[in-house]
A and B are shown apart, each in its own frame.
Chain A
């Protein structure tokens, strides 16, 4: 077939794709008969109201000498690992605020960290395009550093996010600037599956975040600079199960909703969104109230759901940390307005496994732990 004929076919296929996308958008629009907030309000749900002393900062974890980029809690709920621009991972006892481990990294440009399900190992990755595993029980070397127990190499771009597969100590998923996600076997250091890349339904720009479904660990969702989130089945790497459109900027963060049937996203377009995993419907947009100064609109850097899903915590680039009422799509509280809040961008946040505390990490070099300090009424 000649080049001219191929060009003709390419133009025709492109036109068909655009036409189908438009048809899909219109059909989906017809199915969006309501959103979560309208539905909840019409069913008698009322907004949550917090008093100014309900959510309080009960710990500040000081020790990093550079911006904090990432954090993760252990499943056993009282320890946190954090990664910083200072080239260190610090493992904290969140109850005592003490450091249990400080790991000096070979590459200081770390972007992400994660605890293994057992809490015995931590993983991290960054601009070195590799994911390094450290066993916290390893003997320290002469300089007092914990040696790397395994390096997972193979990505062709920075490692933006990593997460262990729940209840599987030897399996981990990474996302990368090379537009792919990879499932790794930590024991062998080999790639089990690559999601995206040469496959047609993969991301078309850097993948920034991922979240594994704790209700069904075969499924995970990824967020990308291509303004989409994609759902993947670990058992079928050749194509994304579904692509979720709606955002108008990089999808910086994705998190599964506690029921495992939905997930949230946070984006450079300043919004958080709630998507239904099965149908692909966008169920809610969580938009910041419009401010007068439109020049520097804060972007969403990180999100987390409370254990029931009623609260959506969203960290922003201006230091705000909104506590959204998921049901009515209103801001119930802004941790950023409190006297002892962070003084820089909220770069990461996460909830303890029992849901009793939120930890936020910031470019101000600190981590803060927030818990409910008011009078709790149990019904």
Chain B
């Protein structure tokens, strides 16, 4: 049973690097009962009624924005979406001015996706509303890593001692970074596998096992988290061609068949079928890719619910509940 103190996340959720093991597990435990709400005939609970949440997306995103929006609506919050294109941002307004203007309209939370690393923290330090990082540059994407961890725990029953290998472009990936920090904190073993050009040299210092060959990664791991190969990386000269990437690092049925055990297959989406993952694997019996999407809503509900809480001292006063 998670204690109420562990469930105190502070004002903002910026990344898993700054959370404790207990806080991460508190979010996962809180997400568990939230899954059931999405199965109800009326998929809505009144817990954030009257709260206004702004989804400020300064970078394109479909799935993350929709997932946050579902989470907010299922908690009865009022939501406003704000995209960079066509807004005052394109007229030269700074991030902090945009946020202060939004705050002047009396909002309670901002969910921010931004191309610059550190944008969420910058904002959190300057506005009173809660800030949730929905991906900042190459830094962190904490809710994605949390939903990955929840999905792994659902299937393997634990995170402690589980071997998770992240495959693909580790260098540019905030999903990889959040997963590495989060998984290590909860006691999982983490591997990374990808072309040397896409592995940051300092990754070993984090306590991560580096695999040069996908076959070795498959032999070692209990779960593979396969990242999307962003097509623009090819233009950047990091990989010679998509076909070659697939031949060397693609997760294929044939490669999985040689594994000593069944591997759980995760992918944060959107997938490039036939590049980093083959269709037979993506749609195969061990793929949990769509469960990740379902769990994403529950994890984001848990984060919003926990952040909307106040100071821990108040919880003491309220102890004993409400008979």
Q: Do A and B come from one complex?
A: no
Residues of A within 8 A of B (CB): none
Identify the B interface with A (CB < 8 A): none
